[in-house]
């Protein structure tokens, strides 16, 4: 739960349903609930250990300083619950660094529109604050829910490639949208 008396992260952007704010170290337990969960992490190589969650938090907090963006906490406007994470990161695809919108929602809150709503805010942020010309979402071929969100964001597949998951080639799609249109 977001406690206003705690070390609250900077608010980035909002709509009626939710707002996105920077992570703080107080978010560790909420992030563990998402990143340590096997079902949530099915599209990734494996669920995270606590050590990897710590690295994830540090990676995002460093990105706020270096890039001005990263993955942010999705907070429900009414309940103030930490429902997930969504934001903008750089991702490597075959030696190219692409600007990506990423999202992971706590499974308690799936299918309530949070990822769609939060990623729409990120599209607005990328276009108007970062003046990005194009943004992507990189999604495993069997991740239908994530693909649905990308399609609702107006993205289409522009490329396919394999990511190495411990020696196994796993197909991924690069979804993309031209922000100038
Ligand atoms: C992908 C994810 C972030 C979506 O979050 P969410 O808040 O539930 O997303 P939304 O409610 O905004 O939209 C989900 C859409 O996918 C649809 N959907 C859900 N499960 C689906 C499935 N198995 N097959 C097809 N569509 C599915 C929903 O019906 C909804 O579409 P609709 O609005 O047209 O009904 C969430 O499932 C998640 O955290 N998954 C695990 C982490 C992950 O894979 N992240 C993305 C990595 S690329």
Q: Which structural domains are found in the chain, ordered by start?
A: 11-133 (3.40.630.30)
> pLDDT tens, 100-113?
999 999 999 999 99
Top mutation candidate among 148, 152, 161, 172 for ligand 1, by most atoms within 8 Å of CB: 148
How large is the average pLDDT for residues 122-129? 98
Q: Is 47 in the pocket of ligand 1 (CB under 6 A)?
A: no
For residue 1, the model assigns a pLDDT of 38
Question: DSSP of 4-70, one letter per residue?
Answer: TTS-PPPEEEE-SSEEEE---GGGHHHHHHHHT-TTTTTTSSSPPPHHHHHHHHHHHHHHHHHHS--
For residue 7, the model assigns a pLDDT of 60
More confident residue, 61 or 181: 61
**What counts of helices (H) and strands (E) characterise the chain?**
4, 8
With a cut of 90, say whether residue 4 has pLDDT above it. no
Q: Is 116 in the pocket of ligand 1 (CB under 6 A)?
A: yes
**Cα 82 → chain centroid:** 14
Percent of the chain with pLDDT over 90: 94
**Cα 18 → chain centroid:** 14
CA distance between the termini of the chain: 38
How large is the average pLDDT for residues 75-80? 97
Residues 6+ apart with CB under 8 A from 37: 47, 107
CA of 103 to the centre of ligand 1 (A): 10
Cβ–Cβ < 8 Å for 59, 68: no
Phi/psi of residue 24, nearest 5 degrees? -130, 175
For residue 71, the model assigns a pLDDT of 98
CA of 102 to the centre of ligand 1 (A): 12
With a cut of 80, say whether residue 18 has pLDDT above it. yes
Q: Is 147 in the pocket of ligand 1 (CB under 6 A)?
A: no
Question: To the nearest whole number, what is the mean pLDDT of the chain?
Answer: 95
> pLDDT tens, 153-176?
999 999 999 999 999 999 999 999
């Amino acid at each position: 739960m977001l406690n206003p008396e705690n070390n609250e992260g900077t608010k980035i952007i909002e709509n009626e349903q939710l707002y996105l704010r920077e992570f703080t170290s107080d978010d560790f337990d909420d992030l563990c609930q998402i990143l340590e969960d096997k079902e949530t992490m099915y599209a990734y190589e494996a669920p995270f250990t606590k050590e990897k969650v710590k690295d994830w938090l540090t990676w995002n907090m460093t990105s706020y300083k270096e890039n001005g963006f990263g993955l942010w906490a999705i907070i429900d406007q009414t309940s103030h619950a930490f429902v997930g994470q969504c934001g903008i990161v750089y991702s490597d695809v075959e030696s190219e660094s692409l600007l990506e919108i990423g999202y992971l929602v706590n499974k308690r809150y799936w299918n309530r529109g949070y990822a769609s709503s939060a990623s729409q805010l990120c599209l607005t942020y990328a276009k108007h604050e970062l003046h990005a010309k194009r943004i992507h979402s990189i999604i495993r071929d069997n991740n239908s829910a994530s693909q649905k969100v990308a399609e609702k964001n107006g993205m289409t597949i522009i490329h396919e490639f394999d990511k190495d998951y411990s020696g196994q080639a796993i197909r991924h799609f690069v979804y993309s949208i031209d922000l100038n249109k």
